[in-house]
Amino acid sequence: MTQQILNYIEKLCNTPSPTGYTKRAEKYLIDEFTKMGYEPYQTHKGNVVVPINEGNSNGLLLSAHIDTLGLMVRSIKSNGRVRVTTLGGFPLSYAEQENVTIITREGKEFTGVLRINNPAVHGSSDPKEITRDDINMEVVIDEITNSFEETEKLGISAGDFIALDPRFRVDNGFVKSRHLDDKASAGLLMAIAKDIKENNIKINRPLYMTFTVYEEVGHGAASGHPKGITDMIAVDMGVVYDDLKTDETKVSICAKDSSGPYNFDLTNDLIEIAKTENIDYAIDIYPFYGSDASAAVISANDFRHALIGAGVAASHGYERTHVNGLNGLYDLLKAYIQK
């Protein structure tokens, strides 16, 4: 199953879906779940909902998000280059020197590179000293253009989406890519759904999966849930940081994030299963974090909520996790939905 998980993650990571432009990833999910034999549907704003085992009460909702960080064209500069604004919360330095793809409203695509305005180390001290922000950084388009008019003539305009090159690869069990937050979890849920269908795994309660498309801006799971849900588990990246116990090989169980504590009983249930199944896990606090589960509860959904995920290092940058963490997360979720 490890390779199946990785295959789904790689495909998702290589499908551009900056928050606000997730149509390709939505279609991929719809197509794949339909092939598995499910009947996925979408909410008005684009979330993909997959009924795994339908019912009217005591339902469990597993969520992951397929929207990612990205950029948007703020304006075209007089030199023909592009000033950007961020989609989601990350420092622009995390995307410096990255290849990008501009996706216009008409569907045209243009490649380029995000870099500081004067990137030559032989020309100035800017590469060492300059502040990395939208004033001092720009996208250089891979077209011969030297003016506002020339770039505009290409069909590029303010409001066009910009996707970052994910650079997906696996080395010695370490999975490295942009957008493992949260495509690692989304790919893993796909693998669980495939396993359930192919092996006729018995689920003892109603079960749904939802793949949200606006998590990075805070309202992914705020609405549009199936009827009868009582528990929601957000499956999202575990934070790897100095005083936290999570690393890339572990399953992280979050007790509290910036929204407050997660449900005591549901979180305890997950901890007990991790212990029983001998899963390598850590309980941690995420001080700068909010999840789809917290968004759902804050939006007045009457759910017990929890947050778990594989440990992911360098969050919102070029991220890294490990197959051990992914497999542990898979085992924990599979054990929980069968209990």
Q: Would you say the pTM of this structure is higher than 0.95?
A: yes
The domain ranges of the chain are 1-68+179-338, 70-164
Residue 27, number of CB atoms within 10 A of its CB: 12
What is the reported pLDDT for 1?
75
Residues 322, 65: Cα–Cα separation, whole Å: 19
Quick: pLDDT tens for 6-62.
Answer: 999 999 999 999 999 999 999 999 999 999 999 999 999 999 999 999 999 999 999
What positions carry a catalytic annotation?
Answer: 215
Binding site annotation covers 65?
A: yes
Residues 210, 54: Cα–Cα separation, whole Å: 13
The CATH homologous superfamily of the domain defined by 1-68+179-338: Zn peptidases (3.40.630.10)
> Measured between alpha carbons, how far apart are the two ends of the chain, in Å?
21
Binding site annotation covers 236?
A: yes
Q: Please give the single-letter amino acid code of residue 23.
A: K
Quick: pLDDT tens for 87-129.
Answer: 999 999 999 999 999 999 999 999 999 999 999 999 999 999 9
Q: Is the per-residue pLDDT at 63 higher than 80?
A: yes
Q: Do domains 1-68+179-338 and 70-164 have the same CATH topology?
A: no
Under DSSP, the state recorded for 214 is: -
* CATH number attached to the domain at 70-164: 2.40.30.40
Quick: pLDDT tens for 296-329.
Answer: 999 999 999 999 999 999 999 999 999 999 999 9
Tokens 């990137």 belong to residue: 119
Tokens 């961020």 belong to residue: 86
Tell me the pLDDT of the chain averaged across its residues. 98
| Element at 222 (helix H, strand E) | none
34-56 exposure pattern, b = at least 16 Cβ within 10 A, e = fewer: eebebebeeeeebbbbbbbbebe
Banded pLDDT at 276 (limits 50, 70, 90): very high
Binding site annotation covers 122?
A: no
Q: Is the per-residue pLDDT at 273 higher than 90?
A: yes
- Contact call for residues 209 and 63 (beta carbons, < 8 A): yes
Measured CA angle at 194 (ends 205, 11), to 5 deg? 130
